[in-house]
Amino acid sequence: MDVFWHQRDLRIADNRGLAAATANDTTLAVYLLDNRVVGSIGERQRAFLYAGLRQLRAEYRHHGSDLVIRAGDPLEQLTELVAAYDAETVYYNTHYNPARRARQRRINDALPTKSVGDLTLVDPAVLDASYRSHSQFYNDWQTLEKPAPARPNTEALATVSDETPVPPLEAAVELPEAGYQAARDRYDQFLDDGIETYNDTRDDMHLAVEQPIGAVSRLSPYLAAGMIGIRELWAAATERYETANADSVRRNIEKFRYELSWREQNYHLLYNNPNLPTENYKQIPNPIAWENDPDQFEAWKAGRTGYPLVDAGMRQLEQEGYIHNRPRQNVASFLTKHLLVDWRKGADYFAEKLVDFDPANNSASWQWIASTGTDSVDVRIFDPVAQLSKYDDQAVYIKAYVPELRDVAAEKIVDWPNLSTAERDELAPEYLEPIVDRNTAYERAQRVFEQALGNQ
Ligand SMILES: Cc1cc2nc3c(=O)[nH]c(=O)nc-3n(C[C@H](O)[C@H](O)[C@H](O)COP(=O)(O)OP(=O)(O)OC[C@H]3O[C@@H](n4cnc5c(N)ncnc54)[C@H](O)[C@@H]3O)c2cc1C
C-alpha cells in the first residue's frame, strides 16, 4: 500500500503523483486540512477548494474508493495513516510556494516519500536559474518536449471509506462550479467557442461582459486549485493547433499556448526565488519612494478612485472574485504607479479576494507590473485613459460594473479624468472625482521609479 497526498491538485485525471503511486501499488488517497496552509488563503478561494474536495471525494467513491480526510498537523496525520495502513511510501506532487515547501521538507525528513513534478509542463529545475525577461525564458522553454497527460490506474485505488466531513463554508460571492468535470466542461466550451479566436478577443473588455467564457477561457480558478491538469490542457490545444486548417486559426491557438508559458515562467521564478511573494525580484539600487497613503489604498480597494477603468476592475473583483486580465493589469499599475502603493499590499489584497489566487502568477504578475520583476521595459505605466480608449471604447465593461456611469456617453467615460469638475458633476453627480490628477500622478511615478533605478 502507498499513500497519495493531495494538495492543490484536486483531480484524478492527469495527476502525475497519483499515476506514479497507482503504478507502484494499491493507493490510499488522502487530503490533510492544515490550517497553516488553508487558513492563509482567502475565504472565497477556501470555499472553492472545499467544494472541489467534495467533488474529488465523489470521484473516488465512483471508483469504489474514497478520499480520506484528516485535519491537524500534516506530519502527525500522515505518520498515523502510514502506520494504520502499513503504507510503504507517501507520494505527492511538488508544490513551490514557501509554506508548502517547508511542509514538504518536514515530511521528507520523517517519512519515506516520493515527490513528482506535476504543476507545470516543464520542470522548473531543468531550465536556467535566471532569465531577465519572458522572451528569454520562452526561447528555451518552447524547445522542450511537453509530456502527455498522466493516466492514474483507478483499479489500484484502495477499497476504503471515510466519513470525515469537508468543512461547510459559504463564500460571499457566487463561485464557479468546482471539480474536474466542471473544469473540463469549461475547457470544452472554450475549445468549441473561443480558442480559435483567442488572440483576437482576449483583450476585448466588452467581451468580458458579453462572452465571459470564450473570449478567454476563465480556467484560472481551476488551474489554481489543480482541478484540471496542465498537460491535459496543452494536449487538447496542441491537437487543435495541428488539425487547424488556416494560419489565422493556428495563430490564435498558438497565443493560448503562449499565455500558458507565462504561468510556466512564473512557477520557474517562484521555484528559483522562494522570496518572490515578498521581495523585489530585480536588484534596484535605491529604495522605491512608496507613498502608501492609507486613504488612497482604501479607495482603490473599494473601487472608488474616480478612474472608471480602475473602479470597474476593482468592483468586478469584489463581486466575482475574478478580474479580466486587461483591467487586472490596469488596477495593479494604477495602485503601484499612480498611487505609489507598494505592490505587496496589492498582491495581498488580491490573495484575499481572488478565487483564482495563485502564488506564482500573483506575485510574479504584481512584480512585472510594479517594474520590480521581469518586464524588459524599465518603467512601464499603464495610462487608464488610453487603455480604456483602446480596449473598451464603448464603455461596455465600465457600465456593467459602475452603475453611476450607465447614462453617460462612452466617449465621456473614456475621457473622465480629463473632464472639468463641473462637467463631471453634471454628467454623473453620483460618481467620484478622480483621487489623483492623471498627468501629475503619471509624472510623479516616472520620476520615483527612475530615481529608484538610479537613472536620475
Ligand atoms: C496583478 C496581476 C495579478 C495576477 N494574479 C493572478 C493569480 O493570482 N492567479 C492567476 O491564475 N493569474 C493571475 N494573473 C494572470 C492573469 O490575469 C490570469 O491568469 C487570467 O486573467 C485568468 O483568466 P483566464 O483563465 O480566462 O485566462 P486565459 O487568458 O484564458 O489564459 C488561460 C490560462 O493561462 C494562464 N495565463 C494567461 N495569462 C497569463 C498571465 N499573463 N500570467 C500568468 N498566467 C497566465 C492562466 O493560468 C490562465 O488561466 C495576474 C495578473 C496580474 C496583472
At residue 128, the pLDDT reads 86
pLDDT band at residue 353 under the 50/70/90 scheme: very high
Tell me the mean pLDDT in the region 120-147.
92
Q: How confident is the model at residue 122 (pLDDT cuts 50, 70, 90)?
A: very high
CA quadruple 437, 439, 445, 451: dihedral positive or negative? negative
Res 77 pLDDT > 90: yes
Q: In ligand 1, which atom is closest to the CA atom of 354?
A: 8
3-state SS assignment for residue 449: helix
Q: How far, in Å, from the CA of 361 to the mean position of ligand 1?
A: 7
Q: What does the pLDDT look like over 254-280, one tens digit per residue? A: 999 999 999 999 999 999 999 999 999
Does position 146 have pLDDT exceeding 80, yes or no? yes
Mutate to test the pocket of ligand 1, among 323, 361, 369, 371 (most ligand atoms within 8 A of CB): 361
Element (H, E) at 27: strand 27-33
**120-153 burial string, b = 16+ CB within 10 Å, else e?**
bbbbbeebeeebeebeebbeebeeeebbebbebe
**What average pLDDT does the structure give for the chain?**
96
Determine which residue's CA is closest to atom 2 belonging to ligand 1: 365
Q: Decide: 405 and 218 in contact? Cβ < 8 Å.
A: no
Check: CB of residue 195 under 8 Å from CB of residue 240.
yes
Nearest 10 degrees: CA dihedral of 181, 187, 191, 196? 180
Q: Which atom of ligand 1 is nearest to the CA of 265?
A: 43
Q: Which atom of ligand 1 is nearest to the CA of 221?
A: 11
Residue nearest to atom 30 of ligand 1 (CA): 217
Q: What is the mean pLDDT of residues 130-145?
A: 92
Instruction: Taking residues 317-327, report their average pLDDT.
Output: 98
What's the mean pLDDT in 323-349? Answer: 98
- Bridge partners of 115? 92
Q: Considering the domain 2-118 in this protein, what is its CATH number?
A: 3.40.50.620
Residue 99: band (very low, low, confident or very high) from pLDDT cuts 50, 70, 90:
confident
State the distance from the centre of ligand 1 to the C-alpha of 219, rounded, in angstroms: 9
Nearest-CA neighbor of 59 among 232, 163, 180, 184? 180
Question: Which residue's CA is the closest to the ligand 1 atom numbered 3?
Answer: 362
Grid-cell match 490573495, residue found: 351
With vertex at residue 26, the alpha carbon angle to CA 157 and CA 92, rounded to the nearest 5 degrees, is 80
Query: Radius of gyration over alpha carbons of the chain, in Å?
Result: 23
* pLDDT score recorded for residue 261: 97
CA distance 400 to 323: 13
What average pLDDT does this structure show over 309-337? 98
Per-residue confidence band for 133, with pLDDT thresholds at 50, 70 and 90: confident
Whole-number Cα distances in Å, 68 to 48, 81, 112, 168: 19, 10, 19, 17
**Does the CA dihedral 352-105-86-72 come out positive or negative?**
negative
**Ligand 1 mean position, distance from CA 215 (Å):** 14
Report the C-alpha gap between 367 and 376 in whole angstroms: 12
Nearest CA to ligand 1 atom 26: 218
Q: In this structure, which residue's CA is closest to atom 41 in ligand 1?
A: 262
Query: For residue range 178-219, what is the model confidence (pLDDT) as tens digits?
Result: 999 999 999 999 999 999 999 999 999 999 999 999 899 999
Q: How confident is the model at residue 2 (pLDDT cuts 50, 70, 90)?
A: very high
Lowest mean pLDDT among 37-46, 267-276, 353-362, 399-408: 37-46
CA of 216 to the centre of ligand 1 (A): 10
Tell me: domain 294-452, CATH 3.40.50.300, correct?
no
Residue 433 Cα to ligand 1 midpoint, Å, equals 31
How does residue 228 score in pLDDT terms, banded at 50, 70 and 90? very high
Residues 6+ apart with CB under 8 A from 199: 251, 252, 254, 255, 256
pLDDT band of 396, cuts 50, 70, 90: very high
C-alpha of residue 359 to centroid of ligand 1, in Å:
11
CA 452 – ligand 1 centroid, Å: 28
Q: How far is the CA of 325 from the centre of ligand 1 (A)?
A: 6
Mean pLDDT in residue range 5-29: 97
What DSSP designation does 434 have?
P
Please say whether the beta carbons of 59 and 15 come within 8 A.
no
Nearest Cα residue to atom 34 of ligand 1: 260
Domain boundaries, the chain: 2-118, 180-271, 294-452
How many angstroms is it from 324 CA to the middle of ligand 1?
8
CA 103 to ligand 1 center in whole angstroms? 26
Question: What strand order describes the sheet that includes 27-33?
Answer: 67-71, 27-33, 2-6, 90-93, 113-116
Exposure class string for 334-373: b at 16+ Cβ within 10 A, else e: bbbbbbbbbbbbbbbbbbebbbbbbbbbbbbbbbbbbbbb
Q: Which residues line ligand 1 (CB under 6 A)?
A: 202, 216-220, 223-224, 259-260, 262-263, 266, 325, 328-329, 332, 350, 354, 356-358, 361-362, 365-366, 369
Write the CATH number of the domain with boundaries 180-271. 1.25.40.80
User: Tell me, what's the pLDDT at 399?
Assistant: 98
